[in-house]
Amino acid sequence: MNEHVNPVYLEDKLDEIRADGHLSYRSKSLPTWCPGCGYFSMQEGLTIALNRLGIAKENAVVVSGIGCASRFPFFVDTYGFHTLHGRTMPVATGIKIANDALSVVAIGGDGDAFAIGGGHIPHAARRNVDITYMVFDNGIYGLTKGQTSPTTAQGFKSKTTPYENLDMPLHPLMMLLSYRASWIGQAYAGRPHHLAEMMTQAIAHKGFSYLHILSPCVTFDKTDRTYGKLNMQVHDLSEDHDTSDLIAAMQQASAAEIPALGVYYVEDRPTLSEEMDEISRRARNAPPIAE
Amino acid sequence: MEQPRVGTDIQFAICGSAGDGTIAAGDIMKRAAALMGFKVIAFDIYPPEIRGFGKCISRIRISDAQTYSLKRHSDVLISLNDAHAIPHVGEVRDFGAVLFEDNSIAELPEGGHISAHIRAAQVPYGFGIREISEKATGLARSRNIAALGYAAGLFNMPPGIFHQIIAEKFAKKPRAVTEDNTRAFDAGVEAAARVFKLDDVSVGRPLSAASGADAVMMTGNGAIARGFLEAGIQAYFGYPITPASSIMERMAAALPREGGRFLQTEDEISAIAATLGAGYAGARAATATSGPGLALMTEMMGLGVMAEVPFVVAVSQRGGPSTGLPTKTEQSDLNLAVYGGSGDAQRIVLAPTNVEGCYRCAGMAFEIAETYQTPVVLLVDLYLSNRFETVIPPRKNIFAPKPRKTPKMGKGEEYQRFRLTESGVSPRSIPGEAGLTHTVTGLEHDEIGHPSDRLHNEMNAKRHHKLLPATHFPGLTTQKRFGDSGKVDVGLLGWGSTFGEILETLYTAQGQDIRVAVMKVVMLSPLPVDEIAAFMDDCTHVLVPELNFEGQFANMISGATGRPVTRLTQTTGAPMLVDDILAELHRLIDSPAPPPTSSHRTAEGVRA
């Protein structure tokens, strides 16, 4: 489904963009991604989301792991931490626990999240740390020049699966739903306006929000997850989907090869920081525990 | 054999089977002695299994002057289980006492009774431990307390203090438990009143009875936790592992009360990752682990060095490699703590040598980490983590954090997180501070923090040079010399818990007219090389005793100074014996100088 776009004049559009203010969230460094990479949409989307939510630059921290997606913090003008491969979740948790006033956004690719970092995600989700996790899923290891990832489709040929990938890919949405992340949604790099809106909602959510973003790797995947194929396959979640119904969300997530875009599940429950404050309150009212 | 000192210097060993109340009896003895105003060092050994019939030993040294290790020979052995205690009869010195059950209720095989193993020079005190307990309480369960009362009676220790400690210990149990145990204790005292006294060792009056109330009995781990708390720790992240878990458990109990935050993470990687995240965000954050956990943490340690993030990692070593010996002590994670990780990742490593040192180093660790913007490792071992010592903490908190200074920027000046300065320390901003946004990374970077290999050499130099002044950090003892001044026959270099035995060796050797000096090295990275080299200049032989197989500290010293040292290494799972160090010291004195560079003594005494 294509979005309807009215014809615009360049000067008018530039004025509109400058007046909007989201450009001030861009850093002076130009992105190092390949031309045509879906991740440019993410840079635009996050600056729009932060601007819309009125989050001051100094109160936003973007935490990333290692990979193409994880170069992200250098391209926005906020506080940023480009950490180690797979470790965005615990580092972001530490930052949030140290200062609740910060808006913490963790970013990683599919390999960073679900291969090396897969063990941390359920714990961040179950604890409901008030952070946003955006996984840019292009189904490939791009930075190391095209190896298979945990979300690569079966039958795909890459440098590490020259005779075809026979491993079954993971299903990130089903994983996060079963981990009870308290906000779960999916977006697509080829639909930037919807993406920006989803990023805004994800960051605004109180608790652990997980946004899965489908994105083509234009350099190392010429056959499977291309703009052409994704544009044909993506569709919106039905309007009457009940986001408080976990089982319905799982049914929606497993209904099609490429699951629908939109918000799958939302739950309001205490965040990790709120739980810790509650523990502090109880500890102060309890007799001291002997050493 | 150590000579009894003037005044009080007595060591009790209580040995039994798990479930006999061995550790509990030892606990009451050490707390009572501390309350009486004595200096106490105590160390318990128990099996890794929680239940079963493993051997438990509690050793308690009580003295009126500060001591630094347990004695090789105990003065008194209390057996609550002969099968376990028989191998320990030998550790009782000549004219020392062995207390045992002389009214066995079961038929024993030949040699099964401890009385058959007591040497002629030792003094046997057989009595009906079970009978005393049963008469006093109707049950045999208070055997441990009855035996404790007997020992207290033998040395005329004031029962009132024991009553107080017994009441505190069982405060959460029904009152009958306190009453029964108090009766059993008094019955033990009463039984000892009618026997002859051991007269060449005594428990006198402590030199400073007033300090009893100020003295706090702490384990090394307890001291680390206390130091962290007084330093205003804001966040603790941890994953359970022997022998570091008690730091974590203390934090779980105490930190929320202070308004701090505690989280048990899913593994050691996330523990240190969250600690680093919190440190990056400006909090005083720490984690604690042992060798296997530190192995998992090394990658994050490197990130902390590269991104210049302050945080603290306490490491309590146990036997290795791999899962190794979880409940036995060793000093074999030195290389990992100092060098672990990829690249040239110099960090600060502090290794306190006694419980008070644990408290001080933990208290100062955050300030050091913040000053140099780097991870600080606090390296101890099971022997130091679990042993009890009396510490008198200062009345006023000396570790409280000072207010942070936000970097000031000139007009139009661009903030550079990693600016190359003369000291190597760059102005650090933390998230939330306006106008100073930046991104830090594990990639090599330029002064702004952007990925670049252009300044790799300069940045490596900065990360190393900025740490060097830490060897003279104000208020911190990074090294210290003891013993004879000037030229000496043998100099002993020590680190960590083994330094206690090294110091005891010094005092013994000085009594034998040997010119000897010792140096403790607390800061293992960066190493106070000048002071160590100056010390070595004075020594004909340099001996480095440590509890690992390769002589990791000896290698480090030898490499840093380019001079030969003699290694004394052991991996027996137990603290090194003063007698072993003394024997090697005598061997060196009898051997020609300069010493052989490859002399290498192992636990089996093999010289390679």
- Residue B48: predicted pLDDT: 67
CA dist A158 and A162 (Å) reads 5
Residues B217, A218: Cα–Cα separation, whole Å: 65
Task: Assess B450–A contact: CB distance below 8 Å, yes or no.
Answer: yes
DSSP string of B165-210? HHHHHTTTS-HHHHHHHHHHHHHHHHHHHTSPPP-SS-----TTGG
Task: Report whether B268 contacts B241 (CB < 8 A).
Answer: yes
- Is B278 within 8 Å of A79 when comparing Cβ atoms? no
Closest CA to B539 of B498, B495, B585, B570: B585
Indicate yes or no: CB of B300 within 8 angstroms of CB of A291.
no
Model confidence at B65, pLDDT cuts 50, 70, 90, reads confident
ω into residue B526 within 30 of 0, thus cis? yes
By CB neighbour count within 10 A (0-12 exposed, 13-18 middle, 19+ buried), where does A281 fall?
A: exposed
Q: Is B295 on the interface with A (CB under 8 A)?
A: no
- Least CB-CB distance to A57: which of B265, B275, B437? B437
| Contact assignment for B451 to A74 by CB distance below 8 Å | yes
What's the pLDDT score for residue B603? 44
* Strand pairing report for A132-137 and A79-82: unpaired
pLDDT at B203: 76
* A111-156 per-position pLDDT tens digit: 999 999 999 999 999 999 999 999 999 999 999 999 999 999 999 9
Percentage of the residues of chain B whose pLDDT score is greater than 70 = 94
Q: Which H helix or E strand runs over B372? A: helix B355-372
The pLDDT of residue B602 is above 60 = no
Q: Hey, are the CB atoms on B439 and A272 less than 8 Å from each other? A: no
Distances (CA, A) of A125 to A178, A245, A269, A271, B281: 10, 17, 12, 10, 21
Is pLDDT at B439 greater than 60 in this prediction?
yes
The nearest CA of chain A is from the CA of B282 a distance in Å of: 7
Q: What is the DSSP letter of A133?
A: E
Q: Please report, for chain B, the start and end positions of each structural domain, with discontinuous segments joined by +.
A: 9-213, 217-391, 479-601
Which residues make Cβ contacts (< 8 Å) with residue B53, sequence separation at least 6? Answer: B17, B18, B19
Q: Which of A74, A93, A123 sits opposite B277 (nearest CB)?
A: A93
What is the C-alpha to C-alpha distance for residues B507 and B253, in angstroms, rounded to an integer? 41
pLDDT of the residue at B604: 46
The Cα–Cα gap between B87 and B478 comes to 40
Q: Is the pLDDT of residue B302 over 60?
A: yes
- CB contact (8 A) between residue A59 and residue B431: yes
Counting beta carbons within 10 angstroms of the beta carbon of residue B110, is it exposed (0 to 12), middle (13 to 18) or buried (19 or more)?
A: exposed
Mean pLDDT, all residues of chain A: 95
Using the predicted structure, report yes or no on whether residue A183 has a pLDDT greater than 60: yes
Residue with tokens 């879906």, as numbered in its chain: A38
Over residues A12-30, the mean pLDDT reads 91
Which of B 24-63 lie inside 8 A of A, CB atoms? none
| Distance (Å) from the alpha carbon of A34 to chain B's nearest alpha carbon | 17
Q: Given pLDDT bands bounded at 50, 70 and 90, which one contains residue B212?
A: low
Domains of chain A: 10-285 (3.40.50.970)
For residue B5, is pLDDT > 70?
no
Token duo for residue A250: 């799982």
Task: Say if B280 is an interface residue toward chain A (CB within 8 Å).
Answer: yes
8 A C-beta contact, residue B549 and residue B333: no
Instruction: Please indicate if any CB of chain A lies within 8 Å of the CB of B313.
Output: no
C-alpha distance from A72 to closest chain B C-alpha (Å): 10
Contact criterion met (CB below 8 Å) for B570 and B547: yes
Cα separations in angstroms, B129 against A54, B60, B147, B192: 76, 21, 6, 11
Q: With the C-alpha atoms ordered B332, B333, B335, B341, is the resulting torsion angle positive or negative?
A: positive
Q: Calculate mean pLDDT across residues A164-185.
A: 97
pLDDT surpasses 70 at B601: no
Instruction: Give pLDDT tens digits for B497-555.
Output: 999 999 999 999 999 989 999 999 999 999 999 999 999 999 999 999 999 999 999 99
The CATH fold of domain B217-391: Rossmann fold (3.40.50)
The SS3 of residue B112 is coil
pLDDT at B309 over 50: yes
- Chain B nearest-CA distance from A107, in A, is 14
CB A121, CB A107: distance < 8 Å: no
B297 has pLDDT over 50: yes
A53: pLDDT strictly greater than 80: yes
Cβ pair B276:A63 closer than 8 A:
no
Interface membership of B235 toward A (CB under 8 Å):
yes
For B127, phi and psi rounded to 5 degrees? -155, 170
Nearest chain A residue (CA) to B308: A81
The predicted-structure confidence for B183-211, as pLDDT tens digits, reads as follows: 999 999 999 988 888 776 677 776 555 56
For B:332-391, CB contacts with A below 8 A are: none
- Identity of the amino acid at B59: R
CA distances from residue B325 to A275, B38, B510 in whole angstroms, order as listed: 37, 33, 35
pTM: 0.93
CA triple B422-B426-B428, angle to 5 deg? 160
Whether B436 sits inside 8 A of A58 (CB atoms) is yes
Cα separation of A127 and A273, whole Å? 9
Please give the residue of chain B at the shortest CA–CA distance from A283.
B257
Residue B66 CA from chain centroid, whole number:
16
Task: Give every strand in the sheet of A132-137, ordered side by side.
Answer: A262-266, A183-188, A209-214, A132-137, A103-109, A60-64, A79-82, B439-441
Q: Give chain B positions within 8 Å (CB) of A284.
A: 256-257
To test the contact with chain A by mutation, choose from B237, B261, B355 the residue with the greatest count of A C-beta atoms within 10 A, namely B261
Judge if the upstream peptide bond of residue B174 is cis by omega within 30 degrees of 0: no
Of B225, B273, B443, the CB nearest to A87: B273
Q: What CATH number should be reported for the domain whose range is B479-601?
A: 3.40.50.920
Nearest CB partner across the interface for B275, out of A58, A94, A99: A94
Q: What is the mean pLDDT of residues B4-26?
A: 87
Asked if B435 has any chain A CB less than 8 Å from its own CB, the reply is yes
B479-601 shares the fold of B217-391: yes
Given a cut of 60, whether residue B159 has pLDDT beyond it is yes
Pick the residue with more confidence: B72 or B53? B72
Res B607: pLDDT:
38
Indicate the length of chain B as a whole number.
608
Average confidence (pLDDT) over B345-359: 97
Strands (E), B9-71: 9-17, 39-45, 55-63
Give yes or no for B586 touching A (CB within 8 A): no
* Residue among B274, B432, B439 minimizing CB distance to A58: B432
Q: Do the Cβ atoms of A95 and B285 come within 8 Å?
A: no
Asked if B379 and B317 touch (Cβ cutoff 8 Å), the reply is yes
Closest in A79, A90, A288 to B438, CB measured: A79
With beta carbons less than 8 A apart as the criterion, state whether A54 and B224 touch: no
Q: DSSP for B471-484?
A: GG-TT--SEEEEE-
Question: A243, A106, A109: which is closest to A184 by C-alpha?
Answer: A243
Sorting pLDDT into bands at 50, 70 and 90, what band is B1?
A: very low
Contact A102 B274 (CB under 8 A): no
On the question of pLDDT at B39 being above 70, the answer is yes
- Please indicate whether residue B246 or residue A257 has the higher confidence score (pLDDT): B246
Q: Which residue of A has its CA nearest to B436?
A: A58
C-alpha atoms less than 13 angstroms from C-alpha of B2 in its C-beta half-sphere: 27
pLDDT beyond 60 at A93: yes
How is residue B343 written in tokens? 């690249």
**Which of B235, B285, B431 has the CB atom closest to A102's CB atom?**
B431
Which pLDDT value is given to residue B132? 95
pLDDT surpasses 60 at A181: yes
Q: Give the Cα separation of B133 and B136 in Å (integer).
A: 5
Cα dihedral sign for B59, B63, B68, B73?
negative
Give residue B419's identity as a one-letter amino acid code: R
Q: Which residues of A touch B299 (CB under 8 A)?
A: 84
pLDDT digits (tens, 9 = 90+) for B101-155: 998 777 888 888 999 999 999 999 999 999 999 999 999 999 999 999 999 999 9
Do B442 and A84 lie within an 8 Å CB cutoff? Answer: yes
Residue B312, chain A, CB below 8 Å: the answer is: no
B218-B224-B230 Cα angle (round to 5): 100
- pLDDT at position A56 is 98
Q: What percent of chain B has pLDDT over 90?
A: 82
Q: How far apart are CA B142 and CA B130, in angstroms?
A: 8
B9-213 CATH:
3.40.920.10
